[in-house]
Amino acid sequence: MKYLPLFFDISGRHCLIVGGGAIALRKAKLIAKAGGQINVVAPDILPELTQLAEKSLGSCQFRAYQSADLADQNIVVAATNISDINAAIADDCHARQLPVNVVDNAALCSFVLPSVIDRDPITIAVSSGGASPVLTRMLRSRIESLIPSAYGRLATFVGHMRKTVKSTFPTEGERRRFWESVLEGPAAEKVLSGDEPAARELFEEQLRSRQKKLPGEVCLIGAGPGDPDLLTFKALRLLQAADVVLYDRLVSPKIVDMARQEAEKIYVGKAMANHALPQDQINQLLIKYAKEGKRVARLKGGDPFIFGRGGEEIEGLAEQRIPFQVVPGVTAASGCAAYSGIPLTHRDYAQSVRFVTGHLKEGALDLDWKTLVAPEQTVVFYMGLSNLQVICKNLIEHGRDPSTPIALVQKGTTPDHKVFVGDIGSFCENVDLETIAAPTLIIVGEVVQLHGQLNWFSPTT
């Protein structure tokens, strides 16, 4: 993030615009909406811009820019059509540590003027940091269509009730959860439809019914294989409502960042022979925070019920009668295979698929190898990189043809996504396994042949 988004109160403050054309006018209109006093300097100034400056109690100087024009100004916009003059204005402002925006030159800006969605008192700003103003205007139009103007009225209604709610609920978490129930309920609908007296009655009724201590809850959320765009709508909604987030090693940092800034984030990841917390301690943490009345998001890579120990974690919650819900995620097998152009089933190659763990249990890879070598079947091994040689050897010894295709997917669906393809008879000799980084997924079966034809994902780093 190059720019820190800020909402700056410029009401009554001196705002200098150097330039008198259409671009300067557009910037001035935005400043005027925020109540700034507009001062314009340019040899030629559009009549509409002159009127805007006078209405804001500002001034117009019909001449070239001088560095003395910066005196007593709070912000500056350089909007001339001469790049050397704009650069000189920027240099003068930087020397005075005065915020400056230079049109069409992001490198010289210390602040940018975004595209704005105005639902007073709600203000939404969209910016590309000067990289693509057209794109930001398009995004603004899309956001505007999703947020009716009545949302400003709703924000005002909520603002009038904040003191009452704060005196009723002692903790920030309780207040936030109450407000969520209001804003998703009938009181908010009444405000949006213009019936504020009815909204107030519904609000007060809801306040009386919610004064008892609110129970905690645990949401077991599948975060998918890595690409944040694969997160479900429900997963995102519950993640952003959480007070505490417990997340695994395989959860993308971008997904963790989607949680509220105020949420407590606790890493509980596991790698081979390196567990941040033992499983029983993770289970106890979930119970502890829920009993404190908090909403807990338990983020697990892939799907929580496929090699994710999700069942173990909610058993303890069920025993303690703690409310919980489970949000499925895109499991690594389907996500990594899809991003690699490998259909796990295909009527010409495989009519079934098996998901198995490739992880050692008590020193041995204890699998039903006879069933894993069945014809017209795809087998997906989770966590099998360190045991790849053992996997290939056992498949061949139990009857699988050494020429059977195999794919190893590294960090699937992420910018580091890579696919290594070969056959089980020679793969370990032809691929330098030391250079491959976990997490990985191993796919064995004839469907791997389709990778070359159907591969579509081209990650960029």
Binding residues for NAD(+), as ranges, are 22-23, 43-44
Length of the chain equals 461
Residue tagged active-site, from 265, 270, 393, 418: 270
Residue tagged active-site, from 227, 248, 294, 300: 248
Catalytic (active site) residue 270: yes
Binding site residues, as ranges? 22-23, 43-44, 225, 301-303, 306, 331-332, 383, 412
Catalytic (active site) residue 248: yes
The token duo for 191 is: 């405000």
Phi and psi for 61 in degrees, rounded to 5?
A: -115, 115
The gap from C-alpha 433 to its chain's centroid, in whole angstroms, comes to 33
Gap between the Cα atoms of 99 and 109, Å rounded: 8
Binding site residues for S-adenosyl-L-methionine, as ranges? 225, 301-303, 306, 331-332, 383, 412
Query: With the CA atoms of 382, 384, 385 and 387 taken in that order, what torsion angle do they form, in degrees rounded to the nearest 10?
Result: 180
Could you give the residue numbers annotated as active site? 248, 270
